[in-house]
Amino acid sequence: MIYLRRSSGETKKKILTACVRLFLEQGYKNTSVSQIVDEAGVARGSYLNLFPTKDKILLDLTETMFGGQFGVARSIADSKLPSVYAYAVDTAIQLTLTELNENLREIYIEAYTAPDTAEYIYVQTTAELKEIFGANFPDYSDSDFYEMEIGTAGLMRSYMARKCDIHFPLERKLDRFLTAAMRVYRVPEEEQAKVLAFIQTLDIKAIATEVMYKLFAMLEMKYDFKLSSDGETEVTT
């Protein structure tokens, strides 16, 4: 194959476009470097100069996926409710997304695992945690919340990795995760019960499905591609 010389910016965009589409359609682990360079129409050396590992591409995708994610949760949880409700909605959506689409599950798990993407999630979430739960820990610094986030992020990753089934339905998964996380952040038992009851009133699968398709549309627009109609972007129930 003959590769035309392009600017590094143009090459990077082509690589990102190819990667994101392939990750969503066939999975992160199933996407090889050879597939990426063929899809992007760039030389292997150019790819490796810009992205020595797939994790570097995953970081760009993670920043897009997590950027503004908490705003969606705030729009669902009544602004008059304590902010812990928005936290519960946000984490419930994330967990539900991974049950709707196996390729998204893989992307989320990799994002919570790879050092660069995990660090990005820790830092971004730390600020939210301090704002939401700061009153419960008046003497805690940003570093304290960062260290707690490492623990609850690990909890999130583990629950994402365990697929739901008849013995462990989604409702129980959400209840288990939220109960554990709220205990870490010292949410009073009475308030925990109210938050869990609120989550149960939501059609969380429908909400997460809407979020998923909005995410796909946003990614298609940002990276300038179209997902194939027969790819693994269909909702699995």
Give Cβ neighbours of residue 59 (< 8 Å, ≥ 6 apart).
Answer: 114, 116, 117, 120
DSSP state of 233: T
pLDDT digits over 65-75, tens only? Answer: 887 666 677 77
pLDDT digits over 42-56, tens only? Answer: 999 999 999 988 888
Would the pLDDT of 235 be above 60?
no
Which residue shows structure tokens 């599950």? 105
pLDDT digits over 187-227, tens only? Answer: 999 999 999 999 999 999 999 998 888 888 888 888 888 88
| Cα atoms found within 13 Å of the Cα of residue 103, Cβ hemisphere only | 20
Would the pLDDT of 141 be above 70?
yes
- Identify which of 179, 178, 176, 180 has the alpha carbon closest to the alpha carbon of residue 167: 176
**DSSP percent split of the chain into helix, strand, coil, nearest 5:** 75, 0, 25
- Position 70 scores a pLDDT of 62
Q: What sign results for the dihedral spanned by CA atoms 73, 160, 16, 56?
A: positive
DSSP state of 113: T
| pTM higher than 0.85 | yes
CATH superfamily placement of domain 1-52:
Homeodomain-like (1.10.10.60)
- Position 231 scores a pLDDT of 45
Average pLDDT over the chain, rounded to an integer: 89
